[in-house]
């Protein structure tokens, strides 16, 4: 069963097509790798499906029932969608634990700061920070974290959002979450992704490391110039000559 499907969606910038009539689907409860050379449209596709930018043409079907032509940022959580960003987006002047509590409580940052946090929220924040190995850093300012720790906190915020204020997420987009991570940190993120799958969640992973794609993904989609180049199980797709030519440069 597909939980998310695009129907000939298009996005262009000043006449340049970043996504060009793309029709792809993502199976519920599976990990799908989204790969392709730089500029192939991977991040643009994620931004379209998470409301960061708007679709010029085409539509999106969510949970096999609701077809939409516009996904607005404030509606993303209503569709059960959450994500990480390629460039980490944190509340720099807030403590690590407060970065988690913000998404566990109110969506509005300022009201969250003055909210009395319930025991449940504090316990959930502890659980999330321990899962991404940042519990010992909970009282540090986010701006003082290393690059790798910031990436882990972004993953933690995504997890917190997945079980926050009554709007559990089913679809998780991770945009290059392993970039710049040391091996031990990579193991943490791999564990998070596998745990999401065990919970029946759907993960869509943008990643350049083919070894990670082979290890984690049930299915992969290859984009090139905003179009679908290939799709299927990793062993089949990665052996295709056109994929090696476009992505691996062989």
The pLDDT tens digits for 129-142 are: 999 999 999 999 99
Secondary structure of residue 90 in the 3-state scheme = coil
**Owner of token pair 């991977």:** 42
Average pLDDT, the chain: 87
The mean per-residue pLDDT over the stretch 34-59 comes to 92
The mean per-residue pLDDT over the stretch 219-229 comes to 94
Region(s) of the chain under CATH 3.40.50.300: 1-80+170-250, 85-169
Q: Residue 55: pLDDT above 50? A: yes
Structure tokens at 55: 């679709």
Question: Which architecture characterizes domain 1-80+170-250 according to CATH?
Answer: 3-Layer(aba) Sandwich (3.40)
Structure tokens at 189: 């993120």
**Cβ(114)–Cβ(194) under 8 Å?**
no
Q: Which of 217, 213, 99 is nearest to 151 (CA)?
A: 99
| pLDDT, tens digit, 9 for 90 and up, residues 141-191 | 999 999 999 999 999 999 887 754 334 678 999 999 998 899 999 999 999
Helix, strand, coil percentages in the chain from 3-state DSSP, rounded to 5:
40, 25, 35
Distance CA 250, CA 248 (A): 6
What is the model's pTM?
0.87
Q: Which of 229, 231, 234, 196 is nearest to 213 (CA)?
A: 234
Q: Residue 81: pLDDT above 50? A: yes
Secondary structure of residue 30 in the 3-state scheme = coil
Q: Residue 108: pLDDT above 50? A: no
CB atoms within 10 A of CB 70: 10
Torsion of CA 134, 136, 140, 144, to 10 degrees: -60
Secondary structure of residue 167 in the 3-state scheme = coil
**Owner of token pair 């869509």:** 204
Q: Which of 224, 229, 226 is nearest to 12 (CA)?
A: 226
Q: Residue 96: pLDDT above 80? A: yes
Task: Give the per-residue pLDDT at 45.
Answer: 95
Structure tokens at 83: 């994500």
Best-predicted range by mean pLDDT (59-68, 108-117, 163-172, 235-244): 235-244
Task: Give the per-residue pLDDT at 109.
Answer: 47
Question: Predicted confidence band at 39 (pLDDT cuts at 50, 70, 90)?
Answer: confident
Topology classification of domain 85-169: Rossmann fold (3.40.50)
Structure tokens at 63: 């949970």
């Amino acid at each position: 069963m597909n939980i998310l499907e695009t129907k000939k969606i298009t996005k262009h910038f000043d006449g340049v097509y970043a996504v060009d009539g793309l029709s792809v689907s993502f199976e519920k409860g599976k990990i799908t790798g989204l790969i392709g050379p730089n500029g192939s449209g991977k991040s643009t596709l994620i931004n379209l499906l998470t409301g960061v930018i708007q679709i010029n043409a085409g539509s999106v079907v969510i949970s096999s029932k609701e077809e939409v032509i516009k996904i607005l940022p404030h509606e993303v959580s209503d569709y059960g969608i959450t994500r990480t960003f390629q460039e980490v987006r944190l509340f720099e002047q807030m403590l690590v634990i407060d970065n988690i509590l913000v998404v566990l409580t109110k969506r509005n940052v300022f009201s969250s700061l003055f909210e009395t946090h319930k025991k449940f929220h504090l316990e959930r924040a502890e659980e999330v920070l321990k899962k991404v190995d940042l519990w010992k850093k909970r009282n540090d300012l986010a701006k003082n974290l290393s690059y790798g720790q910031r990436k882990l906190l972004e993953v933690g915020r995504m997890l917190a959002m997945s079980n926050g204020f009554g709007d559990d997420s089913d679809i998780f987009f991770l945009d290059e979450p392993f970039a710049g991570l040391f091996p031990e940190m990579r193991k943490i993120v791999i564990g998070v992704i596998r745990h999401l799958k065990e919970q029946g969640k759907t993960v869509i992973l943008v990643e350049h490391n083919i070894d990670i794609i082979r290890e984690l993904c049930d299915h992969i989609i290859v984009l090139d110039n905003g179009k679908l180049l290939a799709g299927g199980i990793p062993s089949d797709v990665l052996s295709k000559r056109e994929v090696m030519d476009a992505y691996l440069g062989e």
